[in-house]
Amino acid sequence: MPSERSARTSERRRVRNRQTRRATRTIVASATTSLRDVGPEEAEPAIRQALRALDRAVRKGVLHRNNADRRKSRLMAKVNAAHNAS
Answer for the pair 86, 40: CB distance below 8 angstroms, yes or no.
Answer: yes
Instruction: Encode pLDDT of 2-59 as tens digits.
Output: 799 999 999 999 999 999 999 999 999 999 999 999 999 999 999 999 999 999 999 9
Q: Of 33, 22, 49, which is closest to residue 82 (Cα–Cα)? A: 33
CATH number for the domain whose boundaries are 4-85: 1.20.58.110
Q: Rounded to two decimals, what is the model's pTM?
A: 0.88
Instruction: Encode pLDDT of 38-48 as tens digits.
Output: 999 999 999 99
